[in-house]
Amino acid sequence: EVMLTSERYSVQRLPFSPLSDSDVAFFEGIMPGRVITDPEELKPFNVDWLKSVRGCSKLMLKPQTTAEVSQVLRYCYEKNLAVNPQGGNTGLVGGSVPVFDEIILSTALMNRVISFDKVSGILVCQAGCVLEKLNEYLEEQGFIMPLDLGAKGSCHIGGNVATNAGGLRLLRYGSLRGTVLGLEVVLADGSALDCLASLRKDNTGYDLKQLFIGSEGTLGVITAVSILCPQKPKAVNLAFLGCQSFTKVLETFTTCRAMLGEILSAYEFMDEKCMELVEKHLKLSSPVAGSPFYVLIETSGSSSTHDEEKLNSFLEQAMTSGLVTDGTVATDDKKIKASHRFLFLRERITEALTHEGCVYKYDISLPVAKLYDLVSDTRARLGQSAKNVVGYGHLGDGNLHLNITAESYSHALLDAIEPFVYEWTARHNGSISAEHGLGFKKKQFIQYSKPSEAVLLMQRLKAMLDPKGILNPYKMLPSSS
């Protein structure tokens, strides 16, 4: 058995073939110079971003084309070699690194934009394109990506689709299940499935791409994506507000949605603990001080005067009715720098937390009214055994990021958190993973969010599409035994 972080993750290696010299020689033949076997070079790809799980892969392949991915998988399928598809490796549930010695199949060199249609706004690109690079490319054409994540500088669009990543723009542009129009996927046996349609409407048969969106690399390797991109908003405004209670945060949201309507693009909240940590570790100062809760509102529209008017009348209403005690707005260009600072504060909470020692991260969906109760209840339950218990997230989508920090890893602390957090979430009809997926760390907890019939059907789909189980094993689905 191998221990990863704790014995609760103990898992046995399935009977896949070990890697041989002839295997490495075969891959060298397909893609000379793009086969990595040097243990030092492999180190960063064997460990996740949080440094909480570690594998021991002896080989990383860097294909450039779908044909190469096909050849690799066909060979691995024949030889019974397990494969771990990997994008930017920015995941938070251990889904993107090997558990044992799986071959790492990296999309890093599959970073070509295939086409962009300026009339429809449809972008077709390879899976290894970095999200931020795609956004820069689109901005030059007057468009943007429909998703925005804190990890945008290193995450890949293929990984985003494979994990159905949510992020800051979901409130406005919806999830990837709606904006991804088509996919090209290589199946476990090496056959390529070309469903790269560039149509908004296509009702011909089952929508196969949805199987792969959010499947975390367990059903196929996404090699290319067709995605609908919105026009770049001409006017983006941000407001950073202070609220005295979570009830006020909720009331502010209701007022905000009613008064800002279609221009509301993000509504994020964080508690004062988050702000303290960002100020302490990253030396960033808050534009608004001394509130138990902070709210970040973003509007995006096509007319700056119209949007500013709406935003100002909303703020006036929020201030006079006592929902908001303090606030600051970034509208015109002079203030855009300030607005970037607002977003920067919110995006860097994750990073600030890592400076605190060991971080236990939970990504939960709940009915919005109950969102912060989980933080309060967890804080009360853990008392002095945790250093910090903080809550922040995408309030507009009912998505809470609950983070607990401690000086160092403690088995007793983890036992106090899990399954308490999952039971609490299930009791309030929430989901134990709003956007990070299940990966390696949460797969055994799927029953808190899905009935056993659903899990069984998932396992049958997996067995049908990947009969030998070579694709991203030990991830997402609980062991059948």
For 235-254, the three-class secondary structure string (H helix, E strand, C coil) is EEEEEEEEECCHHHHHHHHH
Mean pLDDT of 284-303: 88
Q: Backbone phi, then psi, for 276, in 5-degree steps?
A: -60, -45
Predicted confidence at residue 1, as pLDDT, reads: 29
338 touches 236 (CB < 8 A): no
Predicted confidence at residue 396, as pLDDT, reads: 87
- Record the tokens describing residue 218, joined without a space: 């367990």
Residue 336 has pLDDT above 90, yes or no: no
- Record the tokens describing residue 256, joined without a space: 């905000």
Residue that the structure tokens 């409407």 belong to: 201
User: What is the Cβ-side half-sphere exposure of residue 375, based on CA atoms within 13 angstroms?
Assistant: 27
Mean pLDDT of 258-266: 93
367 burial class (0-12, 13-18, 19+ CB within 10 angstroms)? exposed
Please tell me the distance from the alpha carbon of residue 143 to that of residue 117, in angstroms, as a whole number: 11
At residue 4 the predicted structure's pLDDT band, cuts being 50, 70 and 90, is very low
- DSSP state letters, 452-476: HHHHHHHHHHHHHH-TT--BSTTSS
Mean pLDDT of the chain: 92
Mean pLDDT of 396-411: 92
Mean pLDDT of 318-327: 92
CA nearest to 82, candidates 115, 107, 63, 105: 105
H helix count then E strand count, the chain: 17, 18
At residue 52 the predicted structure's pLDDT band, cuts being 50, 70 and 90, is confident
pTM over 0.85: yes
Mean pLDDT of 424-446: 94
- Record the tokens describing residue 175, joined without a space: 């999830």
Which residue blocks in 368-477 are alpha helix, DSSP H?
373-382, 411-417, 420-427, 452-465
Q: Of 7-21, 148-162, 192-206, 323-337, where does mean pLDDT reach its minimum? A: 323-337
Contacts of 231 (CB under 8 A, 6+ apart): 121, 142, 143, 144
CA nearest to 236, candidates 300, 311, 314: 300
Predicted confidence at residue 9, as pLDDT, reads: 65
At residue 6 the predicted structure's pLDDT band, cuts being 50, 70 and 90, is very low
Q: Which sign does the torsion angle of CA 116, 121, 127, 128 carry?
A: positive
Residue that the structure tokens 């890697």 belong to: 19
| pLDDT: which is higher, 167 or 376 | 376
Predicted confidence at residue 340, as pLDDT, reads: 59
- Record the tokens describing residue 348, joined without a space: 């860097």
Helix (H, G, I), strand (E, B) or coil at 433: strand
Exposed e or buried b per residue across 50-74, where buried means at least 16 C-beta atoms within 10 angstroms of its C-beta: bebbbbebbbbbbbbebebbbbbbb
Give strand pairing partners of 241: 295, 327
- Record the tokens describing residue 6, joined without a space: 């704790």
CA distances from 239 to 251, 254, 297, 337, 344 (A): 16, 16, 5, 13, 13
Exposed e or buried b per residue across 167-184, where buried means at least 16 C-beta atoms within 10 angstroms of its C-beta: bbbbbbbebbeebbbbbb
Residue 339 has pLDDT above 60, yes or no: no
Domains of the chain, earliest start first:
5-106 (3.30.43.10), 113-228 (3.30.465.10), 235-351 (3.30.70.2190), 356-428 (3.30.70.2740)
